[in-house]
Structure 1
Amino acid sequence: MIKNRSEFLFLYDVFYSNPNGDANDNIPRNDGEFILVSPQRLKRTIRDYLLDYKGKEIFVRKEILDETKRTLKTREVLYSEYGSPNVLMQRCIDIRLFGGTFALKSKSGSTSESTNFSLTGPVQFAFGKSLNRVNPEEIQGTCVIPSTSDQDDDEKRQGTFTSRYVVPYALIAFWGIANENIVAKEQKPLGHTLTDDDIALMIEAMWKGTRNLTSDSKVGQLPRFLLQIIYKEGSDFHIGRLNSLISIQPISDKSEEDIKDITDYVVDFSKLDNLINAHKEKILKIRYVEDILGQLNIVNANFLANAEKIKF
């Protein structure tokens, strides 16, 4: 069981890709100035990596119920296969991390008599947000589908116009927290709790899972920096919103809108550095990982001198 609170800061960049499309028209989520990425998108990346690359059991997943009809199992069906919250907590790392809400049917099996059962997850992320201002772009293309009919060559070469939305370049910052009090209150009574090993796997999944995103809309995303601040047991403290304590500074005469590459800016950590120094008596350890090329230019992060490098 984790006994220490942790905070996370995760930075990754996107290059002509769509980090999180809107549900209606798949335009990259944005607030008019900055690109937004939902916590659910990051959790999906974590879950997929843990399932596909680490062989961990994941509850929130797509699973075929009927191969003929290609229907998916509902959460209620999946939950019924586990039988109890205790078993669910024991077997599914994503439930230990993020919690979940389930509809439990009555003994009669009536959906109308079902009750909701909820587990609060100790690990939560706020919306990710780009540090630079950027506008999504629409790119048009042509899709040609080969024909085996008797059409002549000109007809066969005809295609359908397509369009897709991309983000030319953005540095996305996520902030998250692992709260030890939730573990003690919600999970300990069930007999199975979030562990430090689970947290380590989640950190690996954030990093490597982002690097392994290779779908047409997600290719072009790279993890650049990940920070974990571990607080002393019993401190009941965290700094909060770490992503709001760093800023992007374009180099030369560039504006934020001119940023198109990782070499066009530096990331200023001075506000975060000052707060870490002010509350260092409450901090047990700081851990971090940076991209293998070391391309992200971070300035005013003196706390990294005594931090531990994360190795996967």
Structure 2
Amino acid sequence: MDNNVTKRSELLFLYDIKDANPNGDPLDDNKPRIDEETKINIVTDVRLKRTVRDYFNAYLGYDGTNGNDIFVREISVEDGSIQDAKLRALDFLDEDSLTDEDEKEIVRKFNSKDGKISKKDVSILKKSISNKLLASAIDARLFGLTLPLEFSSAKVEGGKNVTDSITYTGPVQFQMGRSLHPVDMMYIKGTGAFASKQGAGQKTFREEYVLPYSLIGFYGIINENAAKHTKLSEKDVNLLLEGLWLGTKNLISRSKAGQVPRLLFKINYSEPNFFIGDLKGYIYLNPKVRAEAIRDVVDYEIDLTKFMELIQKYDDKIESIQYIVDDRLELTANSGQMDFSTNSKFLELTF
């Protein structure tokens, strides 16, 4: 059995994007999200979690087979519509998630064609769904969920639909991602491949907003106390790291192509409930050109001086620091090239 997460850890993840849109705002013509005052590019934690989920689903087999699933994924039903959350919840109603035979029988009765259960037995259905969710859906164990439940009056005695909900606070929480430098936004207009309408000689036009370049930083924390409730395992966390790195690298949609993971730190603490916090605030981008003119990873260096001072300050509370760095990213500390090999607590990740 996989070891459950029992210690606090923090994450720092940097990736960049070139000539693309890292996270469009659907309420503003799908433009990249930019702080108007600072010109800092903003990316939601929802976008980052989607990257991880898509990687799990497409590359690791979390597709509802072999006991591995993603809860938040698009599933079509027979009429061509998309499942809502209440219908999705019923996918996880499974007698095998229970051990008590009487409880199993209640689920079997509910699932039978003409079966009807008492209102008090709805709690057993909720228990079954919850057990199955945490056993199979890795995103529920990582990020938590709030799931509305509704059981039809046709299947529950009393003449009314019965509603309830399942809520788990996610052990893994990310702040909003922000670029480490001000960005410019470009408006691009081009022609499409097809005519504007049947018989027309003029092609359609496409319009889009992109960023020439953005280096985006995310800070995250993994809470061991919340992990107890979702049964988050160390294997799950290792897959999260893989999903952040390789998921970002494997995004192939037109608006996201060109994203490259550059740096990932995971600080593992030995002291319960301790963490440094706001790791992104201790790294600095030193541009080699005007900040708004940055167009590639070679146009700057990342200064880890303050970050390494923190690591030294809290050395007795840190168990290890897992890391992976892209070959093109230049890291410095104390005006020299960063060398992780001088500190035995730094352990290099490979994917």
Judge same fold: TM > 0.5, yes or no: yes
* Cα distance between partner residues in 1 of 2:147 and 2:182: 39
Cα distance, 1:162 vs. partner? 2.0
Deviations 1:196-248 (A, max 9, x none): 1100001001100101111110001111111110001x431111111121111
Consecutive aligned runs of 4 or more in structure 1 exceeding 4 Å deviation: 109-113, 146-149, 301-304
- After superposition, residues 41-80 of structure 1 pair within 5 angstroms as 41-56=47-62, 57-66=69-78, 69-80=79-90
Q: Deviations over 1:143-180 (max 9, x none)?
A: 2415997x6xxx53x22222101010010001111100
Residue segments in structure 2 that go unaligned for 5+ positions in a row:
63-68, 94-128
State how far apart, in whole Å, the 2-side matches of 1:111 and 1:9 are.
Answer: 49
May I ask how many residue pairs the two structures share in their alignment?
294
The answer to which of 8-17 and 159-168 deviates more is 159-168
1:35 maps to which residue?
41
Distance 2:35 2:297 in 1: 22
In terms of mean alpha carbon deviation, does 110-119 or 202-211 score higher?
Answer: 110-119
In the aligned structure 2, how far is the partner of 1:10 from the partner of 1:219?
18
State the distance in 2 between where 1:304 and 1:250 align. 26
Does residue 1:296 correspond to 2:329, yes or no?
Answer: yes
Residues 113-154 of structure 1, C-alpha deviations (whole Å, 9 max, x = no match): 4123211110011101000100211111112415997x6xxx
Secondary structure of 2:213's partner?
Answer: strand
Structure 2 equivalent of residue 118 of structure 1: 167
Deviations 1:255-311 (A, max 9, x none): 2111111111111111211111110100000111122xx111111156563311101
2:148 aligned counterpart, secondary structure: strand
The match for 1:245 among 276, 282, 289 is 282
Q: Equivalent residue of 2:25, what SS?
A: coil
Given that 1:9 and 1:174 are in contact with CA atoms closer than 8 Å, whether structure 2 keeps it comes out as yes
Match of residue 17 from structure 1: 20
Distance 1:111 1:64, change over 3 A: farther
**Aligned counterparts of 2:196 and 2:215: Cα–Cα separation in 1:** 42
Identify which of 249, 273, 279 aligns with 2:308: 273
Deviations 1:63-99 (A, max 9, x none): 1113xx4311111111112122111100111000000
Note if contact 1:105-1:111 (Cα within 8 Å) is conserved in structure 2: no
- Partners of 1:199 and 1:148 in 2: how far apart? 50
Task: Name the counterpart of 1:218.
Answer: 256
SS at match of 2:232: coil
Contact persistence 1:131–1:172 (CA under 8 A): yes
- Pairwise CA RMSD: 1.9
Asked if the contact 2:195–2:204 (Cα under 8 Å) also holds between the matched residues in 1, the reply is: no
Q: Identify which of 220, 224, 230 aligns with 1:180.
A: 224
Q: Distance in 2 between matches of 1:16 and 1:174?
A: 20
| Whole-angstrom distance in 2 between the partners of 1:271 and 1:107 | 58
TM value normalised by structure 1: 0.89
Does residue 3 in structure 1 map to residue 9 in structure 2?
no
What is aligned with 1:26? 30
For the pair shown, the structure with the greater C-alpha radius of gyration is 2
Give the SS at the match of 1:273. Answer: helix
**AA paired with 2:243?**
A
Quote the Cα distance in structure 1 between the aligned partners of 2:91 and 2:160: 16
Q: Cα distance 1:147–1:130, how it changes in 2: closer, same or farther (>3 A)?
A: closer
1:93 equivalent in alignment to 2:135: no
Tell me, which stretches of 5 or more residues in structure 1 are unaligned? 188-192
- The answer for the alignment partner of 1:258 in structure 2 is 293
**Alignment-derived partner of residue 206 in structure 2:** 162
Local SS of the residue matching 1:167: strand
- Identity over aligned pairs, percent: 39
In the TM superposition, 1:179-198 aligns within 5 A as: 179-184=223-228, 186-187=229-230, 193-198=231-236
Contact 1:224 1:296 survives alignment (8 Å): yes
Cα 1:72/1:304, change in 2 over 3 Å? farther
Whether 1:310 aligns to 2:349 is yes
Give the 3 Å change call, closer, same or farther, for CA 204–106 of structure 1 in structure 2. Answer: same
Q: SS in structure 2 opposite 1:131?
A: strand
Task: Specify whether residues 159 and 238 from structure 1 end up closer, same or farther in structure 2 by C-alpha distance, changes over 3 A only.
Answer: same
2-structure distance, mates of 1:235, 1:120: 19
CA distance in 1, matches of 2:160, 2:296: 53
69-78 vs 54-63, which moves further: 69-78
In structure 2, relative to structure 1, the CA distance for the partners of 1:147 and 1:177 (3 Å cut) is closer
